[in-house]
């Protein structure tokens, strides 16, 4: 849900607001599911925050991924891969920049 919030901010600043397009994408994209942050996610997040000192929003995203047993987490933050390397058996970090052509 933290990611959903972040995705909605910029479209809400537009005139007219474009958040309906983002919400439609999130509701209708195949194999994409939004999940609430629950107690299990917060437990994983707290452990990672204590161990790796991630920011609260970042660690809630990662903790939710761990709690829901996703296979991959997608980010633009290249430091996540190194910081989460010891969890590669539980989750793989995919950076978007690794999939873009060089400038």
Check whether 64 has a pLDDT greater than 90: yes
Check whether 24 has a pLDDT greater than 80: yes
Type and span of the H or E element at 74: strand 72-75
- In this prediction, residues 69-97 reach a mean pLDDT of 90
The pLDDT assigned to 84 comes to 93
The pLDDT assigned to 73 comes to 92
Rounded CA gap, 103 and 86, in Å?
31
**Backbone phi, then psi, for 74, in 5-degree steps?**
-105, 135
Mean pLDDT, rounded, of the chain = 90
Check whether 61 has a pLDDT greater than 90: yes
The pLDDT assigned to 50 comes to 95
């Amino acid at each position: 849900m933290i990611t959903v919030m972040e995705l909605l901010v910029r479209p809400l600043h537009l005139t007219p607001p474009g958040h309906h397009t983002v919400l439609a994408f999130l509701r209708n994209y195949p194999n994409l599911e939004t999940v609430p942050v629950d107690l299990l996610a917060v437990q994983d997040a707290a452990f990672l925050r204590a161990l790796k000192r991630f920011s609260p929003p970042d660690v809630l995203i990662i903790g939710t991924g761990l709690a829901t047993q996703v296979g991959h987490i997608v980010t633009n933050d290249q430091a996540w891969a190194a910081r989460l390397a010891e969890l590669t058996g539980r989750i793989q970090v995919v950076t978007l920049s690794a999939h873009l052509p060089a400038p």
